[in-house]
Structure 1
Amino acid sequence: MNVPSRYCPSLLSYSRRPTREVLVGRVGIGGTNPIRVQSMITSDTRDTPACVKQVLDLDAAGCEIVRITAQTKVYAANLENIVREVRAAGCQVPIVADIHFKPDAALEAAKWVEKVRVNPGNYADKKKFEVREYTDAEYEEELERIREEFVPLVKLCKDLGRAMRIGTNHGSLSDRIMNRFGDTPHGMVESALEFARLAREENYHNFVFSMKASNPKVMIEAYRLLVARLDLEGADWNYPIHLGVTEAGDGEDGRIKSAIGIGSLLSDGIGDTIRVSLTEDAVYEIPVAQALAEPFNAGIPTRGDVTTEYVPSYDPFSYERRKTDVLTVEGHELGGDRTVRVFTTQENWNALAHKIHKLGDFKPEIVVEKSGVLEIDPRDEAAVAALNHSPVAQLVTVKDGLDLEPIHAFRQLAFVIDARHPILLKDTLTPPQGDTDFLQALLPAARVIGSLLCDGIGDAILVRGETAPGQSLRLAYNILQAAGTRIFKTDYVACPSCGRTLFNLQSTTQKIRAATGHLKGVRIAVMGCIVNGPGEMADADFGYVGGAPGKINLYVGKTPVKFNIPEAEAVERLIDLIQEHGKWIDAPAGEPVEV
C-alpha cells in the first residue's frame, strides 16, 4: 500500500489540518469551525420521554451533537417522536442516528435526524469469521453487493440534506476486509474508503470519517494512515475527522486513555469533532471533551518556530520503541527493552518518604535531581553535537523553560540525538507553582507523555503538572498502563453504554473491578453488547458481554465460550473462567494503598 512518510505538514510545529465543511443541521464540522464536542444517550430509543430528557441534559452540559442508537427500523421510526419533542422544548442540537447491521433502519432514521452514522464493517455484512481467499472478481462482486445496499442511503441523505459519518471500528471489520488486509489499521482505512468512493460516485460529500479502536496505539495509527491516504487520493478528499477512543472505560483510566488517543491526534492538527467514551453518565463526558478541545479551539500558537525539519526516527504508522543503550540509574535499569521508569522530584520524595512502604505499585523509583540527567535545548546544535560525540550513552531530557510545545520538543530531541541515548519525558517544561486542578493536570500529562510513548519515544517519565506527590505518581503509572507501556494492574476495556446495552454497565463494571482488580496484567473487556465486534476485545484476555436481556456471554479473547449465563451469576462464572485458564490469584491481604 503506497503511503507517504508524513500525515501532517510538520512533526515539530502545530497546524490544524484544513478540511471542507460538513453541515449537521445548523452545526458545521471542519472548515473554520471549532472542534465540536458530541456524546451519545443511553436510554432505550423506544422510550421517548427518557431519550428527550437525556438529549436536553446533554445540550445543557454543552454537547453540540447528540447520537442515539437505532438498532432496527422500529427503533428508528421513534426518532420522529424524539426529535419532535426535543425541538418543541426549544433545543436545536443536531441528532445523529447510530446504525449497525440494518440498512432499513438507516433509511428510516434519515427521514428524521440530521446525520446518520454507518459502520462499514457491518452495514451490509454479517460477520461469519470465514477464512477464504477472494479473487479480484469475487471481491468486486462483494463491492457490488455493498453498492446495492449503501447507495440508496447515500441518495436519500443527499436529497434530504443529511450528513453522514463513515465510522470504522477496529472490532467489526468485515470478513472481506479481514481476509485481504487483516485486523489492522490498513484494513480499517480501506473499509472506510470503499464506502466513501460509493458516496462520491453519487456526488455526495457531506460526510466525515472515523477510525475508532479501544487501543490508543491502534487508534492513533489508523487515523494517521487515514489522513495520509486521503492526501494521496487528492485535494478534494479533505473530509473532516471525528475522533474517539472507543470503550475507554471510566474514572481516571477512561480519561487518560481518551486523552492519549484524542489528544495526540489533536496535537498534530487532526480532528474536527470528538467524543470521549466513558462508562459513566454521558454528561460527564462533556467537560472532558471540552478540556481536550479548548487549547486548540483557543488557537494554540506555534511556539518556538523550528526552521529545520528533521526526518522522523520512527515509522508513524506502526509502533516500535526507540532503540537505546541500557543505563543503570540509582539502581534501576532503563532504556533498551527495559521497563520505562517513573521519576519524581526530591521534594515529592521527601513528602512521601514516611509512607513509601504503603504506596504499593505507585512507588517512585528515581529522584530526578540525583539521576544525572542532561538537560538540553534540542535546537542547540553545539550541545547536541557534544552529546553525540560522547563515548558513553547519557540520559537526556529537554531543558525547562523553553518556549516549545513538549510533544514537539521531545520529538525534535529524539530526531537529533543518537538513538543510543535514553530520554526522560516530562509532561510540562514549565512546572506550575502552587496547587493544581487534577483534571487540568491529568489531560495534558496524558496527551503529552502518552502521545510520545505511542511513538516509541521515552525510557522514563516525570509528571510535574500535578503537584500533589501521591497523585502525580498515580497519574504517571496510569499513563504508562493506558499507553500499554507498563502493565502493573488489571486493565479494562469498558464501553460507554447506549440504548443497545443489555445490562447496567456502570454498576457491573464496578462489580467486576472489585472482584478482579488485583489481577496484574490481566485484561478484561466489559461490553453491553457485541455490536462493535469481538475485535474490540482483541487485546483482552477475557470478555463479559451482553448476549440478551439479563443474559451474559463470556469470551476468551475473541472466542465466545459460555452462553446465556444469568446476570446474577455472571461475575462468579467470569472468575471461574479466569481460574480455568490459570490467570487467577487470590487478592493479597495487607494495608490499603494510601495514594
Structure 2
Amino acid sequence: MNHASLRYCPDLLQYARRETREVMVGNVGIGAHHPIRIQSMITSDTRDTPASVKQVLDLAEAGCEIVRITAQTRIYAANLENIAREVRAAGCNVPLVADIHFKPDAAMEAAKWVEKVRVNPGNYADKKKFEVREYTDAEYEEELERIREEFTPLVHLCKDLGRAMRIGTNHGSLSDRIMNRYGDTPLGMVESAFEFARIARDHDYHNFVFSMKASNPKVMIEAYRLLVARLKAEGADWNYPIHLGVTEAGDGEDGRIKSAIGIGSLLADGIGDTIRVSLTEDAVHEIPVARAMARPFNEKKDAPATVAEFTPSYDPFSYERRRSSVMTLMGHEFGGDKTVRVFTTQERWNALAHKIASMGDFKPEIILEKSGVIEIDPRDEAAVSHLNDLTEPHLVTVKDGIGLEVIHAFRQLAFEVDPRHPILLKDTLEPPSGDTDFLEALLPAARNIGSLLCDGIGDAILVRGETAPGQSLRLAYNILQASGNRIFKTDYVACPSCGRTLFNLQSTTQKIRAATGHLKGVRIAVMGCIVNGPGEMADADFGYVGGAPNKINLYVGKTPVKFNIPEDEAVQRLIDLIKEHDKWVDAPEPAAAEA
C-alpha cells in the first residue's frame, strides 16, 4: 500500500493533540477537550459480585476513571446488573465497560447494565479457524453481510440506551477473512475495525472509540498511526477518539518500559484520548504508571496549528533503520546494521570501574567524553552544513539545553544531517542535577529513546535521567530489548490477568521467568486464556496458555502441541519443549559474590 499521501500528525516537529469528537461513557467524556482518561480492568471472576465490586472500588480510589470487566458469556454478562447496582450503591459513579470477545448474546445482555461495550472485530461473530483459504469478492461480501446481521442489533441497543462502544482490534485475533486479504499487518487491523465502524455509521451511531493493540510496540505504533491517517483520509466526521494500549506488556520494569514506548510515543504525537497500561500485576499498580504517562500531555499546550514543511526521512508506517555508516569506538562497532551501543559518562564509568567485569549484560560500552561526538542544534543551518561537508562519517547528537522536546529534536537531526553520520540518542536534553525517582526517569527515557528507535533513528543511546550509574545502564539495555533492537535476555509476552484467566498469572509468570530467564533471544508467551492466546503469540517462539481450569496447553509459535497438562507439571513440560526445539542452554553458574 502506498503511504506517501497519508499523514498521521500535522507536524512531526512540534506537539499538537489530535482533534476528535466527544464520546460519553456514562458521565465521563473521552476526546474533544477532555484530559487523557485512565482505564484498567478487574481480575476477579465476573460471577463473584463482592470480589468484583471491591476491585472496581479499589481501582476508582486509585484514580482509575473507567473500569472494564470481562463478560465471556451471557451468564457472566447478566451478573453485571448486580455489580453495577452495588458499585452505584457504594456511591461510586465510575463507568463500567463489558469486555466481549466471542459472544454477541453476551454483548446484548451486557449493554443493558454497563455504560460501554468493547467488541473485538476479529472474533465477534467470527470463529477463528486459522484457515488458509482464498476469499472471492462474493464470499467476502457474504461474510460481511453475516457480520452486519450479528452486529446491527447491538448498535441499535447501544444507540437506544446511550451506551458507548470500543471497536478494539487486537493484532493477535484478526479474522481469517482479514488475515487472508491483508495478512497479519497494521493494515489488516485497521480494515478489520473499519468494517464494524461502517456498520455503526450506517445506523447513525457515533458514540464509539477505536483501539489497535499489539504486544510488539513497533507493530502497535504503526497500526495506530495508520488508523489515524486513514480516519483523516475518510473525512472530517471520522474524528473518533482513540484508546491506547500495548497488550501483554508483562510485569515489572519490562512491562512499564514496553508500555511507555508504545503508548508514550503516540501521546507525544498527539494521538490518544484514553489509555490502559496492561501489567501482569494487581490492576491498581497500573494506575500510577498510566497517570504518570498521561500527566505531561494533559499539562501541555498545543503549538500553533501548522503543517510541517519537512518531509520525513523515513516512512512512519513501516520500520526501516536509518542507513548510517559503520564506525568503531573503544573496540565497539556501531552504525549501519550493527548493534545499537550503550554509552555512559566518564564520571559514571569511574563509579562502576571496580565491577564492570562482573556486570554481565548491563556493561557500559563507550564513554561519552572519549567519543568525539559532535553536539549541534538541528535548527542551526551553519552547524548542519559544516557537518554535512565533512568527508568522514562523524558521530552526532543534539546539544543540551536548546528548549526542544527530545523526540522532535532528534527527528529534525535525522531529517537534516546526512544519513551516513551515526546518531547518539539521549533520553533528556536537561540532565537532572540531583537524585531522580526511578519511575519518573524510566517513563520519559523509554518514551523518548524507544519512539526514535521504533522509527529506525539511532545507533547508540545514553540514559542520563536516571542518576544511579548501574540503574541507568540497566534501563538503557531494557529499552533496547523492549524496542526489539538488542535481545540479550528472554522476552516475555504476558497478559494482564482478567476474569477469564484460568491460573494465577503473576506467580506463574514469575515461575517461568525464574526457570527460563537466561535464554537469550527466546520469546515466551504466558497467556491466561484462549482469547488473545494464539494470536498475540504470533511473535513468540513458545506459548503457555490456560486451556481449562488448572490445565495448560503449550504452543510452538501459533500451533498448540501439548494439551491439558496439569498446572503443577506445566513449567517443566515447557522446558522440555524448549529443549526439543534446541533452544535450551543451561543457566550460567552464579558469579562469586564481590569481595
Q: TM-score, normalised by structure 1?
A: 0.98
8 Å Cα contact 1:359/1:593 also seen in 2 = no
Q: Which moved more, 1:185-194 or 1:529-538?
A: 529-538
Counterpart in 2 of 1:550? 550
Quote the offset at 1:536 in angstroms.
0.7
Deviation digits for residues 271-305 of structure 1 (CA, Å, limit 9, x no counterpart) = 000000000000000000000000000125649x9
In 2 relative to 1, CA 582–21 (structure 1 residues): closer, same or farther, beyond 3 Å?
same
Counterpart in 1 of 2:486? 486
In 2 relative to 1, CA 37–555 (structure 1 residues): closer, same or farther, beyond 3 Å?
same
Give matches, 1:282-301, under 5 Å: 282-300=283-301
Rounded Cα–Cα distance in structure 2 between residues aligned with 1:341 and 1:307: 34
8 Å Cα contact 1:139/1:176 also seen in 2 = yes
Counterpart in 2 of 1:98? 99
Quote the offset at 1:590 in angstroms.
2.9
Give matches, 1:492-571, under 5 Å: 492-571=492-571
Quote the offset at 1:6 in angstroms.
1.8
Q: Letter of the 2:178 partner, please give it.
A: I
Quote the offset at 1:331 in angstroms.
1.3
Q: Letter of the 2:86 partner, please give it.
A: E
Counterpart in 1 of 2:444? 444
Rounded Cα–Cα distance in structure 1 between residues aligned with 2:133 and 2:550: 36
Deviation digits for residues 45-104 of structure 1 (CA, Å, limit 9, x no counterpart) = 000000000000000000000000000000000000000000000000000000000000
Give matches, 1:166-205, under 5 Å: 166-205=167-206
8 Å Cα contact 2:321/2:455 also seen in 1 = yes
Query: Which sections of structure 1, spanning at least 5 residues, go unmatched?
Result: none
Quote the offset at 1:309 in angstroms.
2.7
Quote the offset at 1:533 in angstroms.
4.3
Give matches, 1:190-229, under 5 Å: 190-229=191-230
Q: Letter of the 1:85 partner, please give it.
A: E
Deviation digits for residues 303-324 of structure 1 (CA, Å, limit 9, x no counterpart) = 9x99963111111100000011
Counterpart in 2 of 1:131? 132
8 Å Cα contact 2:98/2:117 also seen in 1 = yes
Rounded Cα–Cα distance in structure 1 between residues aligned with 2:225 and 2:525: 26
Counterpart in 2 of 1:348? 348
Rounded Cα–Cα distance in structure 2 between residues aligned with 1:411 and 1:524: 33
Rounded Cα–Cα distance in structure 2 between residues aligned with 1:593 and 1:482: 29
Give matches, 1:317-328, under 5 Å: 317-328=317-328
Counterpart in 1 of 2:256? 255
Rounded Cα–Cα distance in structure 1 between residues aligned with 2:301 and 2:277: 21
Quote the offset at 1:2 in angstroms.
5.6
Quote the offset at 1:458 in angstroms.
0.2
Counterpart in 2 of 1:151? 152
8 Å Cα contact 1:358/1:592 also seen in 2 = no
In 2 relative to 1, CA 339–94 (structure 1 residues): closer, same or farther, beyond 3 Å?
same
Rounded Cα–Cα distance in structure 2 between residues aligned with 1:288 and 1:165: 22
* 1:334 aligns to 2:305 (yes or no): no
* Percentage of pairs with the same residue: 84
- Provide runs of 4+ in structure 1 moved above 2 Å: 1-5, 300-303, 305-309
Counterpart in 2 of 1:10? 11
Quote the offset at 1:486 in angstroms.
0.3
8 Å Cα contact 1:360/1:593 also seen in 2 = no
8 Å Cα contact 2:10/2:307 also seen in 1 = no
8 Å Cα contact 2:10/2:306 also seen in 1 = no
Quote the offset at 1:170 in angstroms.
0.3
Deviation digits for residues 530-561 of structure 1 (CA, Å, limit 9, x no counterpart) = 20241211111100000000000000011100
Rounded Cα–Cα distance in structure 2 between residues aligned with 1:185 and 1:176: 15
8 Å Cα contact 1:425/1:460 also seen in 2 = yes
Give matches, 1:399-418, under 5 Å: 399-418=399-418
8 Å Cα contact 2:6/2:230 also seen in 1 = no
Counterpart in 1 of 2:572? 572
Counterpart in 2 of 1:586? 586
Q: Letter of the 1:464 partner, please give it.
A: R
Counterpart in 2 of 1:239? 240
Report SS of the residue matched to 1:538. Answer: helix
Counterpart in 2 of 1:230? 231
Q: Letter of the 1:359 partner, please give it.
A: M
Q: Letter of the 2:123 partner, please give it.
A: N
Deviation digits for residues 150-174 of structure 1 (CA, Å, limit 9, x no counterpart) = 0000000000000000000000000
Counterpart in 2 of 1:48? 49
Rounded Cα–Cα distance in structure 2 between residues aligned with 1:328 and 1:576: 41
In 2 relative to 1, CA 139–306 (structure 1 residues): closer, same or farther, beyond 3 Å?
closer
Q: Letter of the 2:171 partner, please give it.
A: H
Q: Letter of the 2:508 partner, please give it.
A: T
Query: Which sections of structure 2, spanning at least 5 residues, go unmatched?
Result: none
Counterpart in 1 of 2:68? 67
Report SS of the residue matched to 2:24. Answer: strand
Q: Number of residue pairs matched?
A: 593
Deviation digits for residues 324-379 of structure 1 (CA, Å, limit 9, x no counterpart) = 11011121110000000000001100100011112110000000010000000000
Counterpart in 1 of 2:477? 477
Report SS of the residue matched to 2:525. Answer: strand
* 1:165 aligns to 2:127 (yes or no): no
In 2 relative to 1, CA 352–301 (structure 1 residues): closer, same or farther, beyond 3 Å?
farther
Rounded Cα–Cα distance in structure 1 between residues aligned with 2:522 and 2:423: 29
Rounded Cα–Cα distance in structure 2 between residues aligned with 1:15 and 1:325: 34
Give matches, 1:106-121, under 5 Å: 106-121=107-122
Instruction: Kindly report the root-mean-square deviation, in angstroms, between the aligned alpha carbons of the 2 structures.
Output: 1.3
Rounded Cα–Cα distance in structure 2 between residues aligned with 1:493 and 1:255: 13
Q: Letter of the 2:345 partner, please give it.
A: T
Counterpart in 2 of 1:312? 312
In 2 relative to 1, CA 365–62 (structure 1 residues): closer, same or farther, beyond 3 Å?
same
Q: Letter of the 2:414 partner, please give it.
A: A
